[in-house]
């Protein structure tokens, strides 16, 4: 936890007065939102867009002013976590179930700052199962199509029921093994009817900040 917190606090240094800030989702983004909230109490003036209801609720609790997308053209900086980061800074995201909103916010951002602990770094993506957001209608057929691509898809559950995203969809966690060509897989997946989007974020990260168990923080160089 401490390494995630350190990386998150380092990332918040990028947030300046007057900015519109994207707030990520998950255990690492939680610490960034907490730090932004603290800085707002100290006088920082920003407005934010949250990537999930969970992050929205936390931002409201901390007194961070939230905006709807209708009121903005672009986001200055978004701070978010990742489940895996390869050597080209391609990401797997969606472990927290918010991949679609995270991708919409990331694509609208001038800068996407990714914060992780050292356990999330990988030579190639694929150890972490790839989350794929799918429409509930006909989801069994979509799961079979994922299988035909060589995945082992598992429908994410919340207790006995299917997990439902903030957008009313399901998530299939797909074990592909090593993903040598993430860009190709991303395009292939998104051409399947029934798939809304997937957790591959290709060349979207502007900065990657890593927290280490020994208490150090490093900003990666490409």
Residue positions counted in the chain: 222
Q: For residues 159 and 166, what is the distance between their CA atoms, to the nearest angstrom?
A: 17
Residues 6+ apart with CB under 8 A from 76: 19, 20, 21, 109, 110, 111
Per the annotation, the verdict on 152 as an active-site residue is no
Other CB atoms within a 10 A radius of the CB of residue 43 amount to 7
Q: Catalytic: which of 56, 102, 118, 203?
A: 102
| Residues whose CB falls within 8 Å of the CB of residue 62, separated by 6 or more in sequence, listed in order | 33, 34, 36, 37, 38, 40, 41
Catalytic sites, residue numbers: 102
């Amino acid at each position: 936890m401490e390494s995630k917190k350190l990386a998150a606090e380092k990332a918040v240094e990028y947030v300046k007065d007057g900015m519109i800030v994207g707030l990520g989702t998950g255990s690492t983004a939680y610490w960034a939102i907490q730090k932004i909230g603290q800085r707002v109490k100290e006088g920082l003036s920003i407005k934010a867009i949250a990537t999930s209801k969970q992050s929205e609720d936390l931002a409201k609790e901390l007194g961070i002013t939230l905006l709807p997308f209708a009121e903005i053209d672009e986001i200055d900086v978004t701070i978010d976590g990742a489940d895996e980061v390869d050597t080209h800074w391609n990401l797997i995201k969606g472990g927290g179930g918010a991949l679609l909103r995270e991708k919409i916010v990331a694509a609208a951002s001038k800068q996407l700052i990714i914060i992780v602990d050292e356990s999330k770094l990988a030579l190639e993506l694929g150890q972490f199962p790839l989350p794929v957001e799918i429409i509930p209608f006909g989801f069994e057929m979509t799961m079979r199509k994922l299988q035909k691509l060589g995945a082992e898809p598992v429908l994410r559950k919340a207790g006995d029921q299917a997990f439902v995203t903030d957008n009313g969809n399901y998530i299939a966690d797909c074990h592909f093994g090593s993903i040598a060509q993430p860009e190709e897989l991303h395009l292939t997946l998104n051409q399947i009817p029934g798939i809304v989007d997937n957790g591959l974020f290709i060349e979207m990260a502007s900065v990657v900040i890593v927290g280490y168990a020994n208490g150090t923080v490093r900003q990666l160089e490409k």
